């Protein structure tokens, strides 16, 4: 078994030094005082925000865009770099999206693109006003879903710290991280109703050195979803629930997906979710690889599937259910995981028959079923390596011919 990875990047330390230095000499660009924004909840913030950003981004000295306390309507904004010096956004107010989903013609609300040495902080709130979208976002209405905006999108952002920000009621994902490097999201608060569809808390792909720390995520889909190309990632001290848990995947649905490797999830608490620590891949689609995935020191409270590898992931029954997953899973561990399961099947390892899971480790597991039946453990196409106290006993339960679908 390969050793666990301590993968908080050294660049994070350099980033903190950059932040400390920039505070001393930072030029302030106040969207109200200098650019005429109005905190009346009616006047569009888009132009003042963009004007402030452009001027700050062009500054040759460190700069800060300030959004003071108050409520601001924002139709959408695209904030692009590269900037000439480190740049910050101090969000103190509440930024509100248009409630009507038809106001959006593409899947963006607030987008940060091609920026280096960036910080956003201040205790502010991004309110996606998602309630109308939740009513219309159904499996059959995919064209509608394709136009729903991600609340906050980070694309090609390097050396960034996002701290003390709230995202609520997003229409689709709250936060999307794509092609980023060395980005830390710390002390975030993410909230949406448990019945809100496709409102992943933080989703990422093709990124390296992502750290999610000390954040509270309550939503209607995965609290954290980790897509292809994610490498060297740390998740720690996160509380999750309601939602669908902390998930690797889904993977294997699209061509040319990049490997996922070097993920450590630790010291987290997951409560009243459909899943806990999960890896999910589609059957019968594309290939891929997942390795060096480590879940440890996690508390599960009334979680339906606390520990789950699901290589027959098929939530809408629209997949090649009779074929095996082509995604290769290896070097995966679940250690010191304790708590309660809402269903008897506390551990489910449903691996691919054509490419069985390799080097899956279970150590010091204690998960009790909340009901009268004892907790069980199911294994298909895997022989886990075990150590320490184990409850339930590994692979103690029969695997149904058609394992139940997971959301």
**Tokens 């508390």, located at residue:** 299
Triad 130, 278, 255: Cα angle to 5°: 80
114, 87 contact by CB (below 8 A) = no
Per-residue model confidence (pLDDT) at position 399: 83
Q: Could you give the CA distance from residue 327 to residue 67 in angstroms, rounded to a whole number? A: 45
Nearest Cα to Cα of residue 307 among 294, 325, 321, 290: 294
Per-residue model confidence (pLDDT) at position 146: 79
Per-residue model confidence (pLDDT) at position 216: 98
Q: What is the pTM of this model?
A: 0.92
**Tokens 């956004």, located at residue:** 89
Q: Could you give the CA distance from residue 108 to residue 88 in angstroms, rounded to a whole number? A: 21
332, 363 contact by CB (below 8 A) = no
End-to-end CA distance of the chain: 30
Residue 329: how many other CB atoms lie within 10 Å = 28
Nearest Cα to Cα of residue 29 among 1, 2, 56: 56
| One pLDDT digit (tens) per residue for the chain, 407 residues | 444 444 444 444 444 444 444 444 568 999 999 999 999 999 999 999 999 999 999 999 999 999 999 999 999 999 999 999 999 999 999 999 999 999 998 899 999 999 999 999 999 999 999 999 998 877 667 777 778 999 999 999 999 999 999 999 999 999 999 999 999 999 999 999 999 999 999 999 999 999 999 999 999 999 999 999 999 999 999 999 999 999 999 999 999 999 999 999 999 999 999 999 999 999 988 999 999 999 999 999 999 999 999 999 988 777 877 899 999 999 999 999 999 999 999 999 999 999 999 999 999 999 999 999 999 999 999 999 999 999 999 999 888 776 666 77
Residues 6+ apart with CB under 8 A from 375: 341, 344, 345, 346, 347, 367, 368, 369, 391, 392
Per-residue model confidence (pLDDT) at position 335: 98
Return the HEC string of the chain.
CCCCCCCCCHHHHHHHHHHHHHHHHCEEEECCCCCCCCCEEEEECHHHHHHHHHHHHHCCCCEEEEECCCEEECCCEEEECCCCCCEEEEECCEEECCCCHHHCCCCEEEEEEEEEEEEEECCCEEECCCHHHHHHCCCCCHHHHHCCCEEEEEEEEEEEEEECCEEECCCCCCEEEECCEEEEEECCEEECCCCCCCCCCEEEECCEEEEEECCEEECCCCCEEECCCCEEEEEECCEECCECCEEEEEECCCCCCCCEEEEEEEEEEEECECEEEEEEECCCCCEEEEEEEEEEEEEEEEECEEEEEECCCCCCCCCCCCCCCEEEEEEEEEEEEEEEECCCEEEEEECCCCCCCEEEEEEEEEEEECCCCCCEEEEECCCCEEEEEEECCCCCECCCCCCCCCC
Nearest Cα to Cα of residue 243 among 203, 278, 274, 202: 274
Per-residue model confidence (pLDDT) at position 315: 81
Per-residue model confidence (pLDDT) at position 140: 65
243, 221 contact by CB (below 8 A) = yes
Nearest Cα to Cα of residue 283 among 249, 323, 233: 323
- Could you give phi then psi for residue 144, rounded to 5 degrees? -65, -45
Which are the catalytic amino acids?
Answer: 244
The C-alpha R_g of the chain, in whole angstroms, comes to: 22
Q: Could you give the CA distance from residue 157 to residue 177 in angstroms, rounded to a whole number? A: 9
Q: Could you give the CA distance from residue 19 to residue 300 in angstroms, rounded to a whole number? A: 36
Per-residue model confidence (pLDDT) at position 291: 98
């Amino acid at each position: 078994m390969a050793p666990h990875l301590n993968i908080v990047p050294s660049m994070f330390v350099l980033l903190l030094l950059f932040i400390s230095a920039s505070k001393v000499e930072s030029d302030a660009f106040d969207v109200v005082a200098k650019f005429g924004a109005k905190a009346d909840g009616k006047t569009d913030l888009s132009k003042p925000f963009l004007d402030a950003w452009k001027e700050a981004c062009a500054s040759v000295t460190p700069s800060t865009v300030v959004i003071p306390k108050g409520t601001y309507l924002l139709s959408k904004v695209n904030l692009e770099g590269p900037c000439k010096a480190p740049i910050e956004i101090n969000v103190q107010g509440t930024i509100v999206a248009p409630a009507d989903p038809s106001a959006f013609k593409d899947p963006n609300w607030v987008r940060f693109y091609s920026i280096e040495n960036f910080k956003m902080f201040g205790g502010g709130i991004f309110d996606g006003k998602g309630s109308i979208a939740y009513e219309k976002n159904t499996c059959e209405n995919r064209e509608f879903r394709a136009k729903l905006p991600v609340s906050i999108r980070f694309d090609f952002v390097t050396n960034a710290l996002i701290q003390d920000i709230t995202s609520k009621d997003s229409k689709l994902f709250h936060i999307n991280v794509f092609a980023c490097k060395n980005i830390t999201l710390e002390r975030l608060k993410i909230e949406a109703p448990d019945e809100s569809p496709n409102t992943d808390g933080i989703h990422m792909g093709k990124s390296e050195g992502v750290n999610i720390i000390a954040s509270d995520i309550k939503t209607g889909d995965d609290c954290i979803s980790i897509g292809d190309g994610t490498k060297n990632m740390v998740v720690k001290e996160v509380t999750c629930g309601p939602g669908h848990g902390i998930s690797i995947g889904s993977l294997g649905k699209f061509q040319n997906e990049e490997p996922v490797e070097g993920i450590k999830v630790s010291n987290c608490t997951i409560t009243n979710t459909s899943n806990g620590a999960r890896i999910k891949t589609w059957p019968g689609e594309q290939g891929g690889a997942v390795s060096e995935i480590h879940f440890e020191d996690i508390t599960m409270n009334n979680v339906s599937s606390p520990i789950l590898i699901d290589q027959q992931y098929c939530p809408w029954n629209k997949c090649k259910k009779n074929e095996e997953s082509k995604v290769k899973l290896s070097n995966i561990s679940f250690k010191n995981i304790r708590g309660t399961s809402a269903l008897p099947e506390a551990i489910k390892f449903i691996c691919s028959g054509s490419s069985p899971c390799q080097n899956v480790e279970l150590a010091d597991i204690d998960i009790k079923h909340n009901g009268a039946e004892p907790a069980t453990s199911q294994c298909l196409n895997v022989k886990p390596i075990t150590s320490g106290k184990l409850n339930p006993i590994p692979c103690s339960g029969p695997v149904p011919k058609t394992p139940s679908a997971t959301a």
